[in-house]
A and B are shown apart, each in its own frame.
Chain A
């Protein structure tokens, strides 16, 4: 966090993490202000995607989330936002309060402001003994704990970019890495290629059913009955969340559970230029709230970025 990277002229005004209703509404409002907007994330991973909505004001009947998201994406693009279906795997602060994100394919993008609207994902698998084994072989954070598993035999459970990216990281540290995928791996081809390069073993179509070990994790049992002897199991569901993307930048999370990002009425976090909106800011988990916060975040971030860009072009 302290080691700021060299000065870069940001190519975007606003980068939005998340293609759910919060992120898309933010994109619409920021783009209409003539900010250069990039939206990252997968609409299929939005909580809204499989929902049916009938309590959203002014939209009659029952609409599928998929339909609403598709419309939102078209609107955002119509107003000039660029959309890219890739997850963010890392964030960094640049000099002079600009930010850089790295996507799952390894590309980097920079902006004067970030809007974090990544929704919420439950982190655990809910298995017996899981909580007791945290720190004793079970981990929820590859970035934090990979170094403790040098030359060890490990597995990562998850179907998204967080698990795949984690497996690649571990492949450079551990002796053997297995990626346990329930269904399909939802990641960019470039990240898939990295997995191959890292000799990550793929256990596709399987779930972790049981954890073995009392003082420490010894093995996991998969849904097809296979037993995998392991030193470590990393549980990384979906894409990277607020902990690694926001807390890493110094953004304050709720002091009780460290799950939600704390914002003010402008959807601004404690870090200048970093905003948040939607489920990631806490309950109620409703589309109307996500859209409302997205609107405010888009206007705030767009305004902040345009002012900054104008000032920099005048002085620079």
Chain B
């Protein structure tokens, strides 16, 4: 199951699991009341499986972890941020197709 590869992070683990990760990390900032976030959720799960070993795919519930979205100036969800060596390398706001997310990841990997 590709779903197993997905990790969930909170404000507390953000530093260790995302910023200090040895691989690029795609973080999906989402919330349970957000329809568009639920719409893209299956694509995010698939990506977690497909990029297993190359990119860590993480979800952060902004309702439970408000500090990190605040730190990155997030004012709309879903927002996807790709972090590499602790830096923001790609940022996508709104529900976009899987292909758009893939091309952002591939750009950052190349």
Which A residues contact B (CB, under 8 angstroms)? 1-2, 134-141, 143-145, 147-149, 232, 243-248, 250, 252-253, 255-258
Contacts and interface: CB of A to CB of B under 8 A. Distances in A.
Given A243-B95, A255-B43, A258-B95, A139 B35 contact: no
Nearest to B46: A255
24 contacts: A1-B32, A134-B93, A135-B79, A138-B76, A140-B94, A141-B34, A141-B36, A143-B33, A143-B34, A143-B35, A144-B31, A144-B36, A144-B37, A147-B31, A149-B75, A232-B75, A246-B35, A247-B36, A250-B38, A255-B42, A258-B36, A258-B95, A258-B96, A258-B97
Contacts of A2: 32
A247 B75 contact: no
Give the top 7 A-B pairs by smallest Cβ distance, nearest first: A135-B93, A144-B34, A135-B76, A247-B39, A247-B35, A243-B35, A244-B35
Nearest to B76: A135
A136 B75 contact: yes
Contacts of A246: 35
A256 B82 CA distance: 20
Interface of B: 31-40, 42-43, 62-63, 69, 73-79, 93-99
A148 B75 contact: yes
Given A143-B33, A247-B36, A250-B38, 4 more contacts: A139-B75, A139-B76, A140-B94, A144-B34
Residue with the highest number of chain B CB atoms closer than 10 Å, among A143, A144, A244, A253: A144
A247 B38 contact: yes
Contacts of B94: 134-135, 140
B57 to A, nearest CB: 17
B76 A243 contact: no
Contacts of A243: 35-36, 39, 95
Nearest to B77: A144
A252 B98 CA distance: 14
Contacts of B31: 144, 147
Nearest to B97: A256
B36 A135 contact: no
Contact of B76 (A144, A244, A255, A256): A144
Nearest to A232: B75
A147 to B, nearest CB: 8
Contacts of A139: 75-76
A99 to B, nearest CB: 15
A80 B9 CA distance: 52
Given A2-B32, A135-B94, A144-B33, A248 B38 contact: yes
Nearest to B79: A135
Contacts of A1: 32, 38
